[in-house]
């Protein structure tokens, strides 16, 4: 880390507060070793039991990126689940994301449901957020994605929701000055 963040704090050994936060709060929460495999097995059994009379064991929010694609792979191939993939098209899909989703569906033999968000509403909300100066510009999309995912799961009585995220990049605060 460098001094492009005017609020960064370094301790007497030259370590910044971002590194300290990572070492104290993020790294210890990562599951490591054989215990994580046992946890996945136990979780898979619970999910399968809860969904024994359903078409799907769970629903997975899928963006087409690495994290959610990997979550889908783990759910199907390692946990033996029958997931329904759920994608929200908020108007920003890239060709690569769409291609990744298609490959994942074909490669894992899974079903996909896509919820299409009203582009004009999304554009208006995003423009309002941009003009407001709110640092986290992803809030509009994230709220749309997760509310649609959980609403669909509730309406279709799918009890378990799986999402993919990256602890190392999404759990570290960015300097507010970076916008």
The packing angle between helices 95-108 and 66-73, to 10°, is 0
Q: What is the 3-state secondary structure (H, E, C) of the chain?
A: CCCCCCCCCECCCCCEHHHHHHHHHHHHHCCCCHHHHHHHHHHHHHHHHHCCCCCCCEEEECCCCHHHHHHHHHHHHHCCCCEEEEEEECCCCCHHHHHHHHHHHHHHCCEEEEEECCHHHHHHHHHHHHHHCCCCCCHHHHHHHHHHHHHHHHHCCCCCEECCCCHHHHCCCCCHHHC
Domain borders along the chain are 17-178
39/60 Cα distance (integer angstroms): 18
In CATH, what number does 17-178 get? Answer: 3.40.50.620
At 3-15, the pLDDT tens digits run: 778 888 899 998 9
What is the model's pLDDT at position 158? Answer: 98
- Gap between the Cα atoms of 6 and 96, Å rounded: 36
Confidence bin at 171 (pLDDT 50/70/90) = low
- pLDDT reading at 176 higher than 90: no
What is the pTM assigned to this prediction?
A: 0.79
- Express each pLDDT in 121-169 by its tens digit: 999 999 999 999 887 788 899 999 999 999 999 999 999 999 987 766 6
Residue range 30-72, pLDDT digits in tens = 766 666 678 889 999 999 999 999 999 999 999 998 899 999 9
Which is it for strands 161-162 and 58-61: parallel, antiparallel or unpaired? parallel
Which tokens belong to 160? 């378990």
């Amino acid at each position: 880390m460098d001094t492009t963040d005017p609020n960064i704090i370094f301790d007497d050994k030259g370590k910044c507060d971002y590194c300290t936060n990572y070492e104290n709060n993020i790294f210890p929460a990562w599951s490591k070793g054989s215990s994580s495999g046992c946890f996945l097995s136990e979780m898979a059994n619970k999910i399968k039991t809860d969904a024994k009379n359903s078409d799907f064991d769970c629903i997975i929010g899928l963006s087409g990126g690495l994290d959610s694609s990997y979550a889908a792979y783990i759910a199907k191939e390692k946990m033996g689940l029958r997931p329904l993939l759920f994608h929200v098209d908020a108007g920003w899909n890239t060709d690569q994301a769409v291609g990744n989703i298609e490959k994942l569906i074909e490669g894992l033999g899974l079903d996909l449901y896509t919820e299409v968000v009203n582009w004009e509403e999304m554009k208006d909300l995003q423009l309002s957020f941009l003009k407001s100066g709110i640092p986290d510009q992803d809030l509009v999309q994230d709220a749309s994605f997760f509310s649609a995912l959980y609403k669909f799961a509730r309406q279709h009585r799918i009890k378990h929701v799986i999402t993919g995220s990256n602890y190392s990049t999404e759990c570290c605060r960015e300097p507010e000055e970076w916008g």
